[in-house]
């Protein structure tokens, strides 16, 4: 079983670092090695569920085959399953179709000027956070510029930049891959597209 | 470790709520994220905001340093350190470079912080516009509109009254070209350390129920006018009575018997390090 105190705390610190240094990659392998649950999503996703969700927040799962992921999250956390436009946390599973991925991002809430923190956090399962198309990123947490690599991300760049166009409004994106590596892109990170 | 409490004192639900607020704070530099500040075993106004951040962050692998006005040994610092140690079993240190987590009241350590370290600052008054607007809803609207005339007016009135921007601490800063932020009551001397810091800086106000952050490598500019530029405390010609350091933030100490005034490093562990390396420079 995942240790809900210490494994979650270690993972949270990785997530804090990932948000503080966007584009840096952090491994969650150690925190999930004791997972015994059979999961309808990546193992790294379960640690995010334990870390961030409870009855106070809402979520939406894109690419949820037969609703298994949503059911499991509800049972584990008591969080509320809502429509994508209302969700505090949006999980985009690896099984999501391209249109489901795009819709999840387009519909995500971006907060208001008075309460920009009331925006969605999008947790995306991707093939790899260290391979794929090269993209140039900059912003707080990045010294100068940094190259980030990811497949499919080129498709999201335009949608993401439109969502984050009117800063401080915007969304946070956390990327998890098959190897349980984590990378985060807060709304302040500018991604300039393929190099 | 004493086990009467959960690890790091809080129940996991409380940590989760603080963690969610912290993540949003890092994502929106300088913006005050409201959070459900918990009752703590120390009084509000004594560092509960910083303590809540620390307890939500701490892991078994951390080494913590707690300072209060530059010293590791004041009552506030010792009490907070003791609470963290007793509820987590982690080690503490006075050496800034060895700490992974640093909680501080009103100072940023002299020693430059490194990538991966986290500095948690305790904040009594997080709202830079509170002196000109008492309504929380209105200050939130002013932040939303980027309407900071009030913050400029406070500085302007000081210049009109005193011919200079008075006030030694909590000089407001502009973060990531968007939010005006109170950097907690750190001396003006420390303001430049916020700019492009390698470490993450988190600020917690327990009584006011706000968390905000300055992520690493973020542009932070102290508010100033073109004709009245930002000026640090004048310590020209002064040096520490113990280690002889000159380019550090100094405390003025007056001996009551003789009225003699002397100066001493405010950051006690930095001063000690210098003394151990070879005495007066």
3-state secondary structure string across B55-98 = HHHCCCCCEEEEEECCECCCHHHHHHHHHHHHHHCCEECCCHHH
What pLDDT was estimated at residue A151? 73
Hey, are the CB atoms on B176 and A188 less than 8 Å from each other?
yes
Q: How far apart are the C-alpha atoms of B164 and B206, rounded to whole Å?
A: 32
Give the mean model confidence (pLDDT) for residues A133-140. Answer: 91
Q: How far apart are the C-alpha atoms of A168 and A31, rounded to whole Å?
A: 32
Q: Tens digit of pLDDT for each residue in A4-14? A: 999 999 999 99
Q: Tens digit of pLDDT for each residue in B133-179? A: 999 999 999 999 999 999 999 999 999 999 989 888 999 999 999 99
Q: Between vectors from CA B183 to CA B181 and to CA B186, what angle results, nearest 5°?
A: 160
Q: Is B168 a catalytic residue?
A: no
What pLDDT was estimated at residue A195? 46
Q: Which helix (H) or strand (E) holds A124?
A: strand A121-126
What pLDDT was estimated at residue B3? 61
Exposed, middle or buried by CB within 10 Å (0-12, 13-18, 19+), for A106? Answer: middle
Q: Tens digit of pLDDT for each residue in A155-165? A: 788 899 999 99
User: Rounded mean pLDDT of chain B?
Assistant: 94
What pLDDT was estimated at residue A194? 54
Q: Tens digit of pLDDT for each residue in B71-122? A: 999 999 999 999 999 999 999 999 999 999 999 999 999 999 999 999 999 9
Q: Tens digit of pLDDT for each residue in B186-216? A: 999 999 999 999 999 999 999 999 999 999 9
The ipTM estimated for the assembled molecules is: 0.97
| In the predicted structure, residue A75 carries a pLDDT above the cut 80 | yes
Architecture field, domain A6-185: 3-Layer(aba) Sandwich (3.40)
What percent of chain A is predicted at pLDDT more than 90? Answer: 88
Q: How far apart are the C-alpha atoms of B184 and B170, rounded to whole Å?
A: 5
Neighbouring C-beta atoms of residue B74, cutoff 10 Å: 15
Substitution target in A3, A14, A168 with the highest count of B β-carbons within 10 Å is A168
| In the predicted structure, residue B1 carries a pLDDT above the cut 80 | no
Residue of A nearest to B14 (CA): A54
Residues 6+ apart with CB under 8 A from A140: A22, A186, A188, A189, B29, B176, B215, B216, B217, B218, B219
Q: Tens digit of pLDDT for each residue in B20-68? A: 999 999 999 999 999 999 999 888 888 999 999 999 999 999 999 999 9
Residues 6+ apart with CB under 8 A from B81: B64, B66, B72, B92
| In the predicted structure, residue A131 carries a pLDDT above the cut 60 | yes
Cα separations in angstroms, B277 against B71, B114, B271, B272: 19, 21, 10, 9
Q: How far apart are the C-alpha atoms of B197 and A22, rounded to whole Å?
A: 15
Exposed, middle or buried by CB within 10 Å (0-12, 13-18, 19+), for A171? Answer: buried
Q: Which helix (H) or strand (E) holds A90?
A: strand A89-92
Question: Which alpha helices (DSSP H) does chain A contain, by range?
Answer: 6-20, 29-32, 43-52, 68-77, 98-107, 153-163
Return the domain boundaries, chain A: 6-185
Closest CA to A49 of A70, A24, A22: A70
Hey, are the CB atoms on A13 and B57 less than 8 Å from each other?
yes
Tokens describing residue B101: 């987590």
What pLDDT was estimated at residue B279? 63
Asked if B130 is an interface residue toward chain A (Cβ–Cβ < 8 A), one would say no
Residues 6+ apart with CB under 8 A from A63: A92, A93, A94, A95, A96, A97, A100, A101
Asked if B59 is an interface residue toward chain A (Cβ–Cβ < 8 A), one would say yes
Asked if A77 is an interface residue toward chain B (Cβ–Cβ < 8 A), one would say no
Asked if B35 is an interface residue toward chain A (Cβ–Cβ < 8 A), one would say no
What pLDDT was estimated at residue B280? 59
What percent of chain A is predicted at pLDDT more than 70? Answer: 97
Hey, are the CB atoms on B26 and A19 less than 8 Å from each other?
yes
Residue with token string 């639900």: B13
Hey, are the CB atoms on B17 and A56 less than 8 Å from each other?
yes
């Amino acid at each position: 079983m995942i240790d809900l105190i210490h494994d979650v705390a270690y993972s949270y610190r990785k997530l804090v670092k990932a948000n503080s240094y966007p584009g840096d990659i952090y491994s969650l392998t150690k925190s999930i090695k004791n997972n015994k649950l059979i999961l309808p999503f990546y193992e790294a996703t379960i640690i995010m569920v334990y870390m961030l969700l409870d009855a106070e927040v809402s979520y939406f799962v894109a690419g949820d085959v037969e609703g298994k992921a949503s059911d499991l999250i509800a049972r584990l956390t008591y969080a509320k399953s809502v429509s994508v436009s209302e969700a505090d946390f949006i999980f985009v599973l690896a099984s999501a179709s391209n249109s489901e991925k795009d819709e999840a991002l387009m519909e995500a809430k971006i907060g208001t000027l008075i309460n920009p923190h009331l925006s969605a956090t999008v947790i995306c399962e991707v093939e790899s956070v260290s391979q794929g198309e090269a993209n140039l990123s900059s912003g707080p947490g990045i010294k100068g510029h940094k190259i980030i690599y990811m497949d499919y991300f080129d498709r999201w760049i335009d949608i993401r930049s439109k969502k984050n166009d009117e800063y401080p409004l915007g969304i946070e994106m956390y990327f998890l891959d098959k190897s349980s590596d984590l990378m985060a892109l807060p709304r302040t990170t500018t991604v300039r597209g393929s190099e | 470790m004493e086990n009467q409490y959960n690890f790091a004192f809080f129940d996991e639900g409380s940590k989760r709520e603080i963690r969610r607020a912290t993540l949003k704070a890092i994502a929106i530099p300088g913006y005050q994220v409201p959070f459900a500040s918990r009752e703590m075993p120390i009084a509000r106004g004594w560092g509960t905001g910083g303590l809540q951040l620390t307890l939500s962050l701490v892991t078994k692998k951390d080494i913590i340093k707690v300072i209060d006005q530059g010293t590791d040994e004041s009552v506030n610092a010792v009490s907070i350190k003791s609470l963290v140690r007793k509820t987590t079993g982690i080690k503490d240190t006075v050496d800034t470079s060895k700490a992974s987590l640093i909680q501080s009241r009103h100072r940023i350590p002299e020693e430059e912080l490194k990538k991966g370290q986290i500095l948690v600052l305790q904040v009594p008054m997080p709202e830079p516009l509170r002196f000109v607007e008492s309504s929380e809803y209105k200050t939130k609207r002013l932040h939303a509109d980027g309407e900071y005339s009030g913050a400029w007016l406070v500085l302007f009135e000081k210049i009109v009254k005193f011919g200079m921007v008075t006030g030694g601490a909590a000089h407001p800063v502009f973060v990531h070209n968007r939010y005006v932020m109170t950097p907690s009551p750190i001396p003006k001397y420390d303001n430049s350390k916020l700019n492009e810091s390698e470490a993450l800086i988190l600020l917690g106000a327990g009584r006011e129920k706000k968390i905000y952050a300055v992520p690493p490598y973020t542009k932070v500019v102290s508010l100033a006018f073109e004709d009245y530029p930002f000026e640090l405390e004048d310590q020209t010609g002064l040096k520490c009575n113990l280690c002889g350091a000159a380019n550090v933030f100094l405390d003025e100490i007056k001996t009551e018997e003789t009225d003699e005034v002397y100066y001493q490093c405010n950051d006690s562990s930095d001063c000690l390090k210098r003394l151990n390396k070879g005495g007066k420079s």
